[in-house]
Structure 1
Amino acid sequence: MASSSVIFFSFFLSLSLRVSADNPGNVCPVSFCSPGGPEIRFPFQAIDHHLEQCGYPGFNLLCNVRGQAILQLPNSQDFVVDHIDYKEQSVKLKDPGNCLAKRLQNSTFSSPVFTAQEYRSFTFAECSFALPVFRIKQVDCLSDKNHKTYVVPAGSFTGYFSAFRCRTWTVSVPVAQQYPTDITEGVSLKWDAPDCRSCEKGGGRCGFKGSAGSNVGCFRKRGHSNRAQLGLLLGLGLPLLLCFSGLVFYLSSRTRVSGHHDPHDQPPNSSNVADITSPSSLLRETRPASNGVGGIDSVMIESYPKIQVDDDGRMPRRNDNICAICLSEYQPKETLRTIPKCGHYFHVQCIDQWLRQKASCPLCRNHKGYV
């Protein structure tokens, strides 16, 4: 009873510490616009998915009918959020129409919330025919059958484009070192406030400290604190230790009991002899035998005479020195019981158990006169 109480208490302690460590009330749930979309959580909030206190001002995202997360920058410019890096606090944006190169010509990417990590200059070239060079990237969404448009880092292929009389122009594009610089696929912006870099890198989650106000705190969301780890160790280790100790004690007790059996109590190697070593069989009342003949009651069994082996081990019958039930030799001063009708004798404990189950001699199997 005491061990069960300890196990229950330890389990409850570990569970409560796990809940308090993993589910702080100030951390809002994660949301997605689609299964393959970016993970949306603080400081971002998905409109119609999160409560107002789950997002920082300026980080609102809208899920469109195509399951894309949309971020709106100044001048009503909508961009698809392709990836959010919460540890580095950067976001990768794509064009909903899959022609970002066209929007690079006149879009403004800076805002009070998002800025560029760095800018790099790229040169676009519009030519009247396809150029015989394979190392420059063709912008398919700006090309048609009459004109081909290419993009290269600024300063490269300048003379080459001039030789083919291509129209060129240069744009400044926000990029990030951790992402490829294919500006026709996406651009990268960063945010500095709120600063949750150290919290995210340490396995925590940012959120507002209270239901009202703008103070941001770091909450343990993934993993366990030292206190929670101690609770899990106690909650899981202690019950396992108790169970292991109980198992060792049980096995050692069984070993001690099995090591003290009397050799006369071992069952004979015969299918016709009853099991006389089972503790439960010694306590059973008489029962019908398989041949339909019941055993003899204890009063009649006790009336059968007993004899004792003398000090020299001599037996009443020559060469009759083995008990036919347990197949053990008779030892000096052992007590034997005789069946009156046939004169056969056996160990007292062996023949008593036999007769309780079968009213017959184990040797001659004659039922007459024994019931």
Structure 2
Amino acid sequence: MNINKVLTFLFFHFIFNFRITSAQICSNSFCRRTEPIIRFPFRLENLQPNSCGYPGFDLFCDAFNETLIDLPNSGTFTVQSIDYESQNIWLNDPDHCLPRRLLQLNLSTTPFNAYFYQDFTLFNCSAFDYARYRFDPIGCMSEENYTVLASSDETAIRLLESRCSLIAAVAVPAQLGFVEPVMTSDLAGDIRLTWGSPRCGRCEERRGRCGLRSVNGTEIECRNAARRGIPRFARYTIVIGIGLPGFLLGLGFLYLICIRVHNSSRQRHPVMEFSMAVVPHSTTTISGLDGSTIDSYPKTVLGESCRLSKPENNTCSICLSEYMPKETLRSIPECQHCFHAECIDEWLRLNPSCPVCRNSPKSSPS
């Protein structure tokens, strides 16, 4: 009996120490302090055990302590940034010629995907005066005797077809700011990819720690997740829920007063009843945009640097809160004004115009 107690004590003591040791080994890591923080589902090869990451998410450090990832069939890329909450990763070329790498980019054997692709056509132009048309050359692919240009705009492509030779058409993962057709680009910006599995975004939102449930399995679990307060969207909904009924109640009260005044006037002037014509009041219903139109407006997830096309627009005009890293923004294509996605979605469902310039965005037919 005593031996069983001792064995039980040793067993639980071993399990407890093993969990502590595993948590310490799988703590946050990085190649250097200015590089992205590495945690599950990613892991650093030769520095952390396999159980600290998920298959296909291995990273490593080069001789300059830059963070790299090796994509099968596509080669090695530098990791510029990782957003664990929205499950996004930004990549670029360690040799500083991303357009050449895009010609052979193949994500079919990787756990990563693009939100959407934008088709660019590359041209080799030798005698074309590209500066006259304000084209941006791809410097790393150009030489002294010719210049390589890229465009996704049909008008610009027709112009280049008549003066240059075709190199290739390539599908480029969406980059920041690439929403409308682009007349010219050097394609040097970071490419943004996302992953669908493992799904740890919800755990990250709750400030939890995502990881493997067991050392040899692939099932994941969320540990130490904290309860969250009321999110901004819920607060905005509560304001609408309280304010709208109060507004309707006030209208109803005003309507009752008008009825009483009208009836009192009829009692004082009964003869006028027969000479007055009844004119029905026409009511106008103002409704917002439909869900499919709102969902079609572009969304952007801010990185740690909070880069925007207009740096002065750093505050949401609806909730009056400054933009923070990892927040999702949505812009109205007609005027390019940006807002928190949850704020502008609720606004456009009730109001068919931009909160800033009051221009009416294009809406889908009812």
Normalised by the length of structure 2, the TM-score is 0.50
Q: Which has the larger radius of gyration?
A: 1
Q: Which has the higher contact order (CA 8 A, sep 6+)?
A: 1
Normalised by the length of structure 1, the TM-score is 0.49
